[in-house]
Chain A
Amino acid sequence: MSTMLNKPNDGIDETLFTLAEYDARAAELGGYSNYSYWRSTWQVFLKNRTAFVLMIIILVLLIFTMIQPYLPNQKLPNEIYLDPATKMQLRNHPPDAEYWFGTNSIGQDLWARIWSGTRTSLYIGVVVGFLTAILGIIVGAIWGYVRRLERLFTEIYNVFDNIPTTVILVLLTYIMRPSLSTLIFAMCITGWLSVSRMIRNMIVIIRDQEYNLASRCLGTPTGRVITKNLLPYLVSVIMLRIALAIPIAIGSEVFLTYIGLGLPVDIPSLGNLINEGRLVMMSASLRYQLFFPAIVLSIITISFYVMGNAFGDAADPRNHV
């Protein structure tokens, strides 16, 4: 439009060449953007097809584990089933129409046991995940923000960090009788450490930004600075950590079961099931007993890892383009 007009021949109405009314308030409303952080995060997350599919799979799995006991024709996980013909224990019965996943070496229905086990393992994972997160956040936030306590907390961390977690887990399960709460307690005691370090590092980065200085000038107490200024920035990181904590906790449980310190046999868990399956895996016809729980465990682990990482990426504002 770099034309030069000598004579007005562009057909514009002459009456338009008069002064227009000026509205100062209208000028103020320009430049409004309705960017929403969480909406953008969700949109970027959805673009990652794999993560989205896995999220659906996990949701379906979760719902199914919850409703499975209430479906018709379900067997009990701990009941030993007898062969109607011989009235003997239905041991190692391969998968068929009646027992979808077969039975184990003492005649228990594997289908029911797997879902019961998944429920238990997920329960452990979620509880440990949340408890370690809460404990880690509290410690990490104070460690990162309150400068007077920084040295003290660093020393405490160093002490705890140097004690091998395996030793603590073994000791605790040995001292207290093996049970669900013992296991959860032991895993929490060892798990909060890395969370607190991560939180502390992030807080050190943002604690001296101008908006935090402004809060200090206004006299905001430490607690509120942490909860309203610092933690909201860390929500995405925290959620990522919890998402990863779940498969980590389940993995720990499997490991403990492997070395004989897991849950008692009457509480089915993925750890128990995998262990039982491991014992018979040499015989080809019995491999299904390892196969099914391992698949379920793999699906859970992979899904949470991929979802967690995808969410972490999506939550980074630099990816909101």
Chain B
Amino acid sequence: METPVSILSVKDLVIKFNLRGKTLTAIREASMDLYKGESLAIVGESGSGKSVFNKAFMGLLDKNGWVESGSILYKGKDLANYKTENDWLKIRGKEIAMVFQDPMTSLNPLKTVGKQVQEAVELHQGLRGEAAKKVVLDILKDVGISEPEKRYRQYPFEFSGGMRQRVVIAIAIACRPEVLICDEPTTALDVTIQAQILQLLKGLQEKYSLTIIYITHDLGVVANVADRVAVMYAGDIIEIGTADDVFFDPQHPYTWALLSSLPQLGIKGEPLYTIHGTPPNLFKEIKGDAFAPRNPRALQVDFVHRPPYFEVSETHKAKTWLLDPRAPKVERPKSIENIRAQWGVL
């Protein structure tokens, strides 16, 4: 069997922001490997840092943010050291491209769709004029836009939400990137359009050998597209594994809480399992496990020492003291066991 090749390797990344004179630590020593050709889903709620984490790979951090420590190794280069726009221009588009959440604001309303895709083609594939236009029409066909000749001359406002997102995807793949980062690509779309867009992305991934990172909070989307899943909480990746690992054998209490609280899995008449409280204040330094105050199954050590990764299997690891051999045997909540039974996993 082929050993997967890691094309992006993040180690102990720390990203800070300067907000109104105070320092906020948005990413706290997060580590992750991205393997060629896979679909990795990064799941987290607001404040988990998932968008910031991915923006760091393209140098899109806001002006008041910076990489404090850690490394982002991409094809032998450490992106964490990139400071100037020139450095990033070699990465953006050509190597790593991004699809944003809101197709309404991602496109320039004053230029025709064809022109916008063509700009990307001319910039990254070095073609001009008629040759470029032909490539554009091919790409438009690839992303499922019918009548590309007619659509080429139209403006974004003449497209529906789903079609606009297809155009955004077209611009992204026109750059022929290695890695495509999709930041909540379907959150703003209706559910039927969502299904189409996800299908499209999977098709493009095969055709162009893309490696895709999906950032989302929707576990249904994750189950649909992801080979591997990384769960983020308070700026750290607290559990990472294959989709089967994370859905059917979750180890971190936050992952349990996340899975249990899905309304789709609730039993009518009984309250859903919830996590009380709110995520921690990232302005303050966090001692121990960030999830501990909200965790009914926290150990005392969770408040004192930060847990390292514990390996559950070759593909699956989680940052929780519960996996330490010294920890008492804590049963997963009934809700998780119910889910596993429901899905016939046991």
A227 at the interface (CB under 8 A from B): no
* Cβ contact within 8 Å between B324 and A17: yes
Q: Annotate A87-98 by CB proximity to B: 1 below 8 A, 0 otherwise.
A: 000000000000
A278 at the interface (CB under 8 A from B): no
User: Looking across the interface, which residue of chain B has its beta carbon closest to that of A22?
Assistant: B296
* Cβ contact within 8 Å between A17 and B321: yes
* Cβ contact within 8 Å between B308 and A17: no
* CA–CA, A13 and B304, complex, Å: 11
Interface residues on B, range: 35 or more
* Cβ contact within 8 Å between A4 and B310: yes
| A24-B276, A31-B281 known; A8 vs B310 contact (CB < 8 Å) | no
**Complex interface: chain B residues within 8 A of A22 (CB):** 295-296, 298
* Cβ contact within 8 Å between A19 and B20: no
* CA–CA, A26 and B294, complex, Å: 8
User: Looking across the interface, which residue of chain A has its beta carbon closest to that of B64?
Assistant: A321
Give A11-32 interface residues, CB cut-off 8 Å to B: 12-20, 22-24, 26-32
**Complex interface: chain B residues within 8 A of A29 (CB):** 277
Contact check: which of A4, A17, A28, A31 meets B299 at CB < 8 Å? A17
B327 at the interface (CB under 8 A from A): yes
* Cβ contact within 8 Å between B326 and A20: no
User: Looking across the interface, which residue of chain B has its beta carbon closest to that of A31?
Assistant: B278
Number of A-B contacts defined by CB within 8 Å: 96
* Cβ contact within 8 Å between B300 and A20: yes
* CA–CA, A2 and B318, complex, Å: 10
* Cβ contact within 8 Å between B278 and A16: no
User: Looking across the interface, which residue of chain A has its beta carbon closest to that of B294?
Assistant: A27
User: Measured between C-beta atoms, what is the minimum distance from A31 to chain B in Å?
Assistant: 4
**Complex interface: chain A residues within 8 A of B76 (CB):** none
Give B291-312 interface residues, CB cut-off 8 Å to A: 292-306, 308-311
User: Looking across the interface, which residue of chain A has its beta carbon closest to that of B63?
Assistant: A321
* Cβ contact within 8 Å between B302 and A28: no
**Complex interface: chain A residues within 8 A of B31 (CB):** 2
* CA–CA, A307 and B19, complex, Å: 24
* CA–CA, A291 and B219, complex, Å: 74
* Cβ contact within 8 Å between B20 and A40: yes
Does more than half of chain B's interface fall in helix, strand or loop, or is it mixed? Answer: loop
* Cβ contact within 8 Å between A30 and B328: no
* Cβ contact within 8 Å between B280 and A20: no
Give B16-75 interface residues, CB cut-off 8 Å to A: 18-21, 29, 31, 47, 64
User: Looking across the interface, which residue of chain A has its beta carbon closest to that of B310?
Assistant: A5
* CA–CA, A27 and B330, complex, Å: 21
* CA–CA, A4 and B311, complex, Å: 7
* CA–CA, A82 and B18, complex, Å: 66
* CA–CA, A15 and B277, complex, Å: 27
Contact check: which of B294, B309, B328 meets A3 at CB < 8 Å? B309
User: Measured between C-beta atoms, what is the minimum distance from A4 to chain B in Å?
Assistant: 5
B144 at the interface (CB under 8 A from A): no
User: Looking across the interface, which residue of chain B has its beta carbon closest to that of A6?
Assistant: B325
**Complex interface: chain B residues within 8 A of A24 (CB):** 276-277
B161 at the interface (CB under 8 A from A): no
User: Measured between C-beta atoms, what is the minimum distance from B224 to chain A in Å?
Assistant: 29
* Cβ contact within 8 Å between A28 and B298: no
Q: Annotate A202-224 by CB proximity to B: 1 below 8 A, 0 otherwise.
A: 00000000000000000000000
* CA–CA, A23 and B295, complex, Å: 9
| A3-B309, A19-B328, A22-B295 known; A28 vs B276 contact (CB < 8 Å) | yes
* CA–CA, A27 and B276, complex, Å: 6
A67 at the interface (CB under 8 A from B): no
* CA–CA, A14 and B325, complex, Å: 11
B12 at the interface (CB under 8 A from A): yes
B332 at the interface (CB under 8 A from A): no
* Cβ contact within 8 Å between A18 and B309: no
* Cβ contact within 8 Å between A1 and B276: no
B11 at the interface (CB under 8 A from A): yes
User: Measured between C-beta atoms, what is the minimum distance from B34 to chain A in Å?
Assistant: 15
* CA–CA, A28 and B276, complex, Å: 7
For this complex, 30 residue pairs linking A to B, each with C-beta atoms less than 8 Å apart, are: A1-B309, A2-B308, A2-B309, A4-B310, A5-B308, A8-B325, A12-B305, A14-B326, A16-B300, A17-B301, A17-B321, A19-B328, A20-B292, A22-B295, A24-B277, A26-B277, A27-B276, A27-B277, A27-B293, A28-B277, A30-B277, A30-B280, A31-B47, A31-B278, A31-B279, A32-B281, A43-B20, A321-B18, A321-B19, A321-B64
Not counting A28-B277, A321-B19, a sample of 7 additional A-B residue pairs whose C-beta atoms are within 8 angstroms of each other reads A4-B311, A12-B301, A13-B301, A16-B304, A27-B277, A31-B279, A31-B281
Binding site for A on B (CB under 8 A): 11-12, 18-21, 29, 31, 47, 64, 276-281, 292-306, 308-311, 319, 321, 324-328, 330
* 3 A-B pairs with the lowest CB-CB distances in the bound complex, closest first: A27-B277, A16-B301, A31-B278
